C-alpha cells in the first residue's frame, strides 16, 4: 500500500476516520479531543435522538512518554469496540466484594491492566499491524519503568509482565500466577477480564492482608522503609506515564451496569477456568460480529417472514469421539497452504483499506485480509424439529451435530452451523440457530415460548438456512436438510394442501439454490411412508436420500460432510 498523502488526509482527520470505523461497529458517536496529560475514554450516555452511545476520547497533548499519539488513540478506541465493562468491575469490587479505599483502588488498578491486555489482543487480531504497534509500545514502556517498581505490588507485577520486562521480574513472588492471568485474558469476550480478576483475588487479598498487618505492627514507629511500603500499598508508586488510561474510565458497553451472575458466583478454580475458556470462545464470536458490522454492504441479514427465533430447553449432549477424532486427523492432513489477499471474507480488517473505501465510497466491504484458504467450506445442517422427531431421532441428530462440530475444532477454513425448525398452527415457524458447540444442547423439539411447533414447514428450513449460508465465510457452501415427515404447513389455523403449499416450497428452494447448488435432503421414513412423500417431487434434480432411521441419516451426513471437505480442501 502506498504511503498516505497527509496533504489530502491529515493525521487528525485519519484519527477521526478510524473512530468512524468503530462507530459503525458499535452504534456509537465518538469525539476526539487533543489536550491534557493522559489518554482516556469516557462514556456520556445515549443520544436521545438516534440512540447512539456517546464517547469522548482525550488524547494526551503533548504525548505521554513512550506512547505515540496514534497508538494511544487506537487503544482507547479498542475499549469502545470491545466494550470494556468498567461499571461491571466497580460493581464487582465495591458491591460484591465490599472493597473500600486502598483495597478498592488496588483491585480497580489491577483490572485496568488486565483489561488493557484483553482489548489490545482483540484489536491486534482484528486490525492489521496493530498487534505489532502494541507490542513495540509495551516493550518501550517496559524500558521506561523505574527499577523501584519491581516489587511485589500486584499492580506493578502485572504492569512489568505486560510491559515485557523480561528475566528481571521472574523472581517475584507469584510471578507465574500473574503471568498466567495475562495470558488467560487474551482474546476473551467483554467479561473475560472480570473472570480473570476473580482468579487473582486470593493472591491480591493475601498481599493486602500481609501489608496491612505489617503496617499495623509499625504504625507507632514508621521507619523510612515502612513509609515506602505504605506508599506501595496506597499505589503512590504508580507513574501515570506507564499507563494508557487514567482512572476516569467509564463503561463502554451497551449493558453499562451489567455484571453477569456467573462472575459474582465464581468460587472454585475449576469453575473459573471453565468460564475463562468460555470467554475465549465468545471472544471469537465477538470478532465475527464486528466483521459483519463493518462490511456495511447493504446486505444485512434479515429474517424471512413468519419466523420466530425461539429458545429451546437444554438436553444432554453426546458425541461420537471416535468419528470426530478420525475426521479431524484427516482434515488436518489435507489442509492447503494459507494465502493472504484482500477480499470480503478475511479474518483481519485492513483498516487502511477500509478507510480508503470509506473516503472513496466504493466497495466498502472489501477490506479484510484473508489468511485462510480461498476456497473454504461452509455447511449448514437444517434439522426438522417437529413433534414426530421427538425421542431417539432428535437425540441422534444432536449427537450428529456435536460430532461434526468436534471434528472441525482448530480447522479455521471450515465453518459449520445448524438450525432446528418446526411450524405452529398459526403459521409461525419457530427456529433456533446452532452457531457453536455450546448451542448444541438446544437441539430439541420443545420450546419455551408456550407455542407448539409440531408441523414440518420445510420451505422455511430452506429459506432460513440459505440466509445463514449467505453470511458464512466459505466460497464453497452446502446445505443438508434432515426431516422425518411430509412437508406441511398451516396458515391462521388452516392446513394448506400440498398443491398450494408446494408453490411456497419451490420458491424457497429457488432462493436457496441462488446461494448454493449443493443442497441435500435426507428423509428418515419407512418405505411405505416414503413412497407417497411429495418431497420427492420437490427435490427432483437435487440430491435426495432416503434412510430408514436416524442412525442411517447420520452415516449419510458424515459421508457427505467428509466428501465436501476433502474435495474442497485437497492440495
Does pLDDT of 444 surpass 60? yes
Query: 68 with 162, same domain?
Result: yes
Contact criterion met (CB below 8 Å) for 103 and 266: no
Cell 457427505 sits on residue: 560
Nearest of 278, 276, 253 to residue 193 by alpha carbon:
276
Q: Which domain holds residue 357?
A: 339-372
The neighbouring-strand residues paired with 523 are: 483, 546
Which pLDDT belongs to residue 256? 43
The predicted-structure confidence for 319-369, as pLDDT tens digits, reads as follows 999 999 999 888 877 654 444 433 444 445 555 555 655 555 555 454 554
Tell me the backbone φ, ψ of residue 23, rounded to 5 degrees: -60, -40
CA separation, residue 528 to residues 56, 387, 524, 533 (Å): 69, 20, 12, 9
What are the backbone angles phi and psi of residue 427, rounded to the nearest 5°? 105, 0
| pLDDT tens sequence across 48-86 | 877 888 999 999 999 999 999 999 999 999 999 999 998
Q: What is the CATH number of the domain that holds 549?
A: 3.40.50.410
Residue 4: per-residue pLDDT: 46
The answer to whether 63 touches 72, Cβ cutoff 8 Å, is yes
Ranges 57-61, 163-167, 354-358, 448-452: which has the least confidence: 354-358
pLDDT of residue 292: 66
Q: Looking at 372, 387, 421, which one is the last position of a domain?
A: 372
Give yes or no: residues 95 and 155 share one domain.
yes
Looking at the fold, whether 409 and 362 belong to one and the same domain comes out as no
Element (H, E) at 275: helix 269-295
| pLDDT score for 63 | 92
- Within this chain, do residues 356 and 271 fall inside the same structural domain, yes or no? no
Q: How far apart are CA 471 and CA 285, in angstroms?
A: 14
CA distances from 493 to 226, 429, 455 (A): 81, 13, 12
| 378 and 368 within one domain | no
In a domain, 449, yes or no: yes
Domain boundary among 228, 256, 289: 289
> What nine digits make up the cell of 168?
528481571
Q: Is the pLDDT of residue 451 over 80?
A: yes
Answer yes or no: is 79 within a domain.
yes
222 plus 269 within the same structural domain? yes
First to last CA, the chain: 30
Residue 1 included in any domain = no
DSSP secondary-structure letter at 91?
I
2 belongs to a structural domain: no
Segment holding 114, helix H or strand E: helix 101-126
Residue 447 has pLDDT above 80, yes or no: yes
Are 21 and 355 in contact by the 8 Å Cβ rule? The answer is yes
Mean pLDDT of the chain: 82
Q: How many domains does the chain have?
A: 3
360 and 433 co-located in one domain: no
Q: Is residue 187 part of a domain?
A: yes
* pLDDT for position 1: 40
The structure's pTM equals 0.55
In a domain, 299, yes or no: no
Q: Which of the four pLDDT bands, split at 50, 70 and 90, describes residue 472?
A: confident
Integer angstrom CA distances of residue 339 from 342, 346, 376, 413, 477: 10, 11, 12, 12, 20
Do 447 and 475 belong together in one domain? yes
The answer as to whether 557 is a domain residue is: yes
The four Cα atoms 350, 354, 357, 359 give a dihedral, to 10 degrees, of -130
Q: 64 and 27: one domain?
A: yes
Question: What are 384-432's pLDDT values in tens digits?
Answer: 999 999 999 999 999 999 999 999 987 877 889 999 999 999 999 999 9
Half-sphere exposure at residue 559, Cβ-oriented, CA atoms within 13 angstroms: 9
**314 plus 165 within the same structural domain:** no
Would 35 be classed as within a structural domain?
A: yes
Q: How confident is the model at residue 226 (pLDDT cuts 50, 70, 90)?
A: low
Same domain (yes/no): 344, 437: no
378 and 367 in a common domain = no
Amino acid at each position: 500500500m502506498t504511503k498516505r498523502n497527509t496533504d489530502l488526509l491529515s493525521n487528525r482527520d485519519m484519527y477521526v476516520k478510524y473512530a468512524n470505523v468503530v462507530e459503525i461497529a458499535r452504534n456509537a458517536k465518538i469525539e476526539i479531543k487533543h489536550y491534557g496529560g493522559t489518554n482516556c475514554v469516557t462514556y456520556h450516555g445515549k443520544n436521545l435522538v438516534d440512540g447512539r452511545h456517546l464517547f469522548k476520547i482525550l488524547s494526551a497533548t503533548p504525548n505521554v512518554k513512550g506512547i505515540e499519539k496514534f497508538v494511544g488513540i487506537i487503544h482507547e478506541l479498542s475499549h469502545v469496540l470491545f466494550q470494556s465493562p468498567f461499571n461491571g468491575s466497580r460493581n464487582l469490587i465495591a458491591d460484591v466484594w465490599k472493597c473500600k479505599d486502598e483495597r478498592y483502588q488496588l483491585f480497580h488498578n489491577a483490572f485496568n491492566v488486565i483489561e488493557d491486555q484483553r482489548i489490545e489482543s482483540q484489536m491486534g487480531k482484528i486490525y492489521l499491524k496493530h498487534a505489532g504497534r502494541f507490542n513495540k509500545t509495551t516493550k518501550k514502556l517496559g524500558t521506561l519503568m523505574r527499577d523501584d517498581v519491581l516489587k511485589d505490588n500486584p499492580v506493578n507485577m502485572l504492569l512489568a509482565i505486560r510491559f515485557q520486562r523480561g528475566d528481571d521480574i521472574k523472581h517475584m513472588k507469584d510471578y507465574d500466577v500473574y503471568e498466567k492471568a495475562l495470558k488467560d485474558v487474551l482474546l476473551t469476550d467483554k467479561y473475560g477480564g472480570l473472570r480473570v480478576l476473580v482468579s487473582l483475588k486470593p493472591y491480591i487479598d493475601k498481599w493486602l492482608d500481609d501489608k496491612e498487618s505489617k503496617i499495623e505492627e509499625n504504625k507507632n514507629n514508621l521507619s523510612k522503609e515502612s513509609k515506602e511500603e505504605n506508599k506501595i500499598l496506597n499505589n503512590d508508586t504508580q507513574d501515570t506515564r506507564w499507563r494508557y488510561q487514567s482512572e476516569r474510565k467509564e463503561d463502554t458497553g451497551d449493558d453499562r451496569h451489567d455484571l453477569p451472575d456467573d462472575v459474582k458466583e465464581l468460587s472454585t478454580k475449576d469453575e473459573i477456568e471453565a468460564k475463562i475458556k468460555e470467554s475465549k470462545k465468545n471472544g471469537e464470536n465477538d470478532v465475527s460480529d464486528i466483521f459483519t458490522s463493518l462490511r456495511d454492504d447493504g446486505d444485512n441479514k434479515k429474517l424471512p417472514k413468519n419466523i420466530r427465533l425461539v429458545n429451546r430447553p437444554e438436553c444432554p449432549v453426546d458425541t461420537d469421539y471416535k468419528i470426530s477424532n478420525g475426521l479431524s486427523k484427516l482434515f488436518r492432513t489435507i489442509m492447503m497452504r494459507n494465502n493472504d489477499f484482500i477480499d470480503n471474507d478475511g479474518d483481519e480488517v485492513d483498516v487502511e483499506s477500509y478507510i480508503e473505501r470509506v473516503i472513496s465510497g466504493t466497495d466498502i466491504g472489501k477490506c479484510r485480509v484473508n489468511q485462510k484458504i480461498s476456497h473454504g467450506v461452509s455447511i449448514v445442517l437444517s434439522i426438522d424439529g417437529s413433534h414426530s422427531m421427538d425421542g431417539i431421532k432428535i437425540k441422534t441428530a444432536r449427537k450428529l451435530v456435536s460430532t461434526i462440530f468436534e471434528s472441525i475444532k482448530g480447522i479455521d477454513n471450515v465453518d459449520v452451523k445448524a438450525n432446528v425448525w418446526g411450524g405452529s398452527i398459526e403459521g409461525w415457524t419457530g427456529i433456533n440457530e446452532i452457531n457453536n458447540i455450546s448451542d448444541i444442547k438446544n437441539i430439541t423439539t420443545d420450546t419455551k415460548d408456550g407455542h407448539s411447533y409440531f408441523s414440518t414447514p420445510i420451505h422455511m428450513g430452506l429459506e432460513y438456512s440459505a440466509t445463514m449460508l449467505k453470511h458464512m465465510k466459505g466460497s464453497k457452501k452446502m446445505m443438508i436438510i434432515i426431516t422425518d415427515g411430509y412437508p406441511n404447513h398451516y396458515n391462521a389455523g388452516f392446513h394448506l394442501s400440498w398443491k398450494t403449499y408446494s408453490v411456497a416450497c419451490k420458491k424457497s428452494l429457488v432462493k436457496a439454490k441462488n446461494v448454493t447448488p449443493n443442497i441435500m435432503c435426507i428423509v428418515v421414513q419407512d418405505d411405505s411412508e416414503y413412497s407417497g412423500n411429495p418431497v420427492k417431487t420437490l427435490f427432483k434434480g437435487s440430491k435426495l436420500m432416503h434412510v430408514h432411521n436416524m442412525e442411517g441419516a447420520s452415516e449419510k451426513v458424515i459421508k457427505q460432510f467428509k466428501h465436501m471437505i476433502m474435495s474442497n480442501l485437497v492440495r
